[in-house]
Chain A
Amino acid sequence: MRGAALPALTWLPPQASTVAAEVDRVLYVVLGISAFFLLLVTVLGAIFVWRYRERRQPQPGAAPSGNLPLEIAWTVVPLLLVVWIFWVGFEVFVDMATPPRDAYEILVTGQKWTWLFTYPNGYVDQNLHVPADRTVRLVMSSEDVIHSFFVPDFRVKQDVIPGRYTKLWFVAPQPGEHQVFCAEYCGTSHSDMLAKVVVHRPEDFDAWLREASDFLNRMGPAEAGALLFRTRGCAQCHSVDGTPGTGPSLAGIFGHAQRLADGTTVVADEDYLRESLLEPTAKVVAGYEPVMPTYRGRLNDREITALVEYLKTLGGSR
């Protein structure tokens, strides 16, 4: 890795992206300048307090109460240094703001309190899997409040905002696992809004994506349904613990009668649940607005079956 040239400063996280060493270079420049000035102020202060302490020097000595060349010196020297700091910070920032071409694009959704990563083939995962040594570009948006996508090992961070897209890119040269944090306060479980970046060897990534996307074959239908429920936005409006949200809670729904907005009643069997996914506004439960979007074309038959199987497993009184 590029950062290996500076092994002594080990308290920083590992440099796991190509920009990490560049960012650390900025940190070291500022650290060097800061350490120098802190030392200067502290040592001078300590010397003065010691040499000119009351017992040693009961009366102040003769000294001027101003000196123009000195004032100019300690205005101009810090000015030049901060211009330098600005410049190194700016240079690296421009690199970070300019993604290389031909990036592998992954859509990121922040929502209270999970991250969802959508791959080009439509597969959605709760962790970010990427190929090593390839530019990855994240196009990010939020479903609710502002979140912030932060990977300390990569030295990247970008707020994720509802109603617009923000972007971020990185190249992770080596396979490995890295922590994702949400860095913008977003409510109750803000500190549990975590995920992993899993960097695969380039030759293994496609195989991983193929297998992961094939979860309907790997998992039982109810288990696959639970995954879909979390990753396709259902949990945004429907709780599974009885709490009403934008939509009715789905706790213990299967086999129970539902009172509808038009006054009739319907038993929630497989067909009703399927219809509610494909024609959500056809039979709306009383007390709720007909605001659910249709999932026709967004879920295939096997996925619908998996979701229905999952809903059957939800116990709880209503």
Chain B
Amino acid sequence: MSGPAGVVRPAEVARPQRHYLNETPGLRAWLFTLDHKRIGVLYLVSLVVSFALGGVFAILLRTELWTPGPTIMSADAYNQAFTLHGAIMIFLFIIPGIPAALGNFALPLMIGARDVAFPRLNLASWWLYVLGASLAVGAIVLGGVDTGWTFYTPYSISTGTQVVLITLGAFILGFSSIFTGLNFLVTVHKLRAPGMGFFDLPLFVWALYATGLIQILATPVLGITLLLLIAERTLGIGIFDPALGGDPVLFQHFFWFYSHPAVYIMILPAMGVESELISTFSRKHIFGYKFVAFSSVAIALFGFLVWGHHMFVAGQSALASTIFSALTFSVGIPSAIKVFNWLATMYRGSIRLRTPMLYGLSFLFLFTIGGLTGLFLGALAADVHLHDTYFVVAHFHYTMMGGVVMAFLGGLHYWWPKMFGRMYDERMGRGAWLLLFLGFNLTFFTQFILGSLGMPRRYYNYLEVFRPYHRASTVGAYLMAAAFVWIAFYLLQALWRGREAPANPWGAGSFEWQTSSPPPVDNFRDLPEVRDPYDLTAWVYDDAAGGYVRREART
């Protein structure tokens, strides 16, 4: 296939007439598709709807906090708003988030597979997601929930709100997550292209693999815990209810045994995306491939041993708190290794500040803040003061939103041309990114100050001294809302008006960029040759193609 100039232009670079988006039209063909790419798109649409719903609750509660005391709603309505904001964002957006939407689309392409190992299970995963989400929405319609997304007992046993319905929803969503994780594990083991070893995998695949391990090992515990809570509420079995001899703190142990590893279900795929973005847009081989890869696995394993750090002041023994504090810091090390390797990747690169890279750089900055503020909370005596204050709220928004959501957006902008075959408006992409970045820091940096001053979380009313910080935070939230509307606008606009995307707009080296944009139903006409996915030197920009093409050998 090599031409005289040494430039390879494989047949699939040309945009095909028929591809996975238009091969079989009709709603039925989409809703019951077994194609991992279509399932990824179905997930993407559902996740965006959930994110918008969770965002509406966020705006409502930030508006309520414009003044102390009542502003636009009652205390009970506020308690529901923060519960639903948290529950929707966690269970319906950020846990499935990157794996289900971007991972489903990209993982089989990246390893040169025709599809995931169990396409029907993959479809079932999405349908379970829809069912679980419907139950959650049903709980909102039938009166809402006011327990906080953590469902702590005994409050969740005694409140009159729709706890059973929403926990049943979360239970079902857990299976959706298990199906995805199981599918990815088997896919990575069994369906890699011939000759592709584990160390030839893109780091996003490593990250999804480590995520899959947590999904199948930790999620069943959440299922058991939520079933026990439902049994406690409906049958009074007396395992958590102190009035029946139960232990309410036991619930916290069970809950965090899943929900702490779950934060790594959220952040690991984001770290995988980050590795792709930093390498591609620095035009450099990733630095320390094996360290970045194994640090994902290390985070997945250490993540199981630290759940008790949520309970330093919850009444667990001082000895238990001490052990959990020591173990907690072990998770910080692999995260630090990743950050330094990403920085080293940028060294002497040729850095292109395209929209995905801007999100990649903001991830690096915001996740570093999120990670470092975790050190305050892991240190026992400091946590006593900061626990259950806005400091914690700011910390996890820096990791979850500054980290995961920024990486999600970076990955979305990165793979958007591949998913839909269209380029978005780059200037609007950068503008919306800047607005989002500023709004984010205004919203959440102020909350670090609020928390260290002693402002407790989940407060409807607050002391007058906290007002300026709350106001700044609310203004920041409005800026972010505007940025999200802007992003939705230009991404949708791209579908109709965007210029056609080349096969490889960014010059990345992994397999998915060596098939057409959008890919054909069966992913590849000819399977690309297995090479180091981070050796980018052979990929050069070609004006005629409007994107990068591979130069085989320099003449």
Contact = CB atoms under 8 A, between A and B. Distances in A.
Same complex for A and B? Answer yes
A23 B384 contact: yes
Interface residues of A, number: 83
Nearest to A149: B313
A27 to B, nearest CB: 5
A215 interface: no
Contacts of B336: 37, 74-75, 78
Number of contact residues on B: which range applies? 35 or more
15 contacts: A13-B453, A26-B379, A26-B381, A45-B364, A54-B352, A57-B351, A59-B283, A66-B289, A82-B378, A86-B325, A89-B379, A144-B158, A159-B313, A159-B315, A190-B460
Interface string A80-101: 0011011011111110110000
A226 interface: no
A184 interface: yes
Contact of B347 (A41, A48, A93): A48
Contacts of B458: 185, 190-191
Contacts of B449: 11
Q: List the 4 shortest-distance A-B pairs measured between CB atoms, nearest first.
A: A152-B454, A89-B379, A163-B242, A92-B381
Interface SS majority for chain B: helix
Nearest to B540: A59
Interface string B296-318: 00000000000000001111001
Interface in A126-171: 144-146, 148, 150, 152-153, 155-159, 161-164, 166
Nearest to B339: A41
B159 A187 contact: yes
Interface in B125-159: 146, 148, 152, 154-155, 158-159
A93 B337 contact: no
B375 interface: yes
B436 interface: no
B75 to A, nearest CB: 5
B343 A22 contact: no
A189 B75 contact: yes
Contacts of B361: 45, 49
Contacts of A30: 375-376, 379, 382
A77 to B, nearest CB: 9
B227 interface: no
A70 interface: yes
Contact of B388 (A92, A148, A189): A148
Contact of A150 (B247, B353, B388): B388
A86 B379 contact: yes
A282 interface: no
Nearest to B372: A34
Given A71-B291, A148-B388, A162-B154, A179 B463 contact: yes
Contacts of B365: 41-42, 45
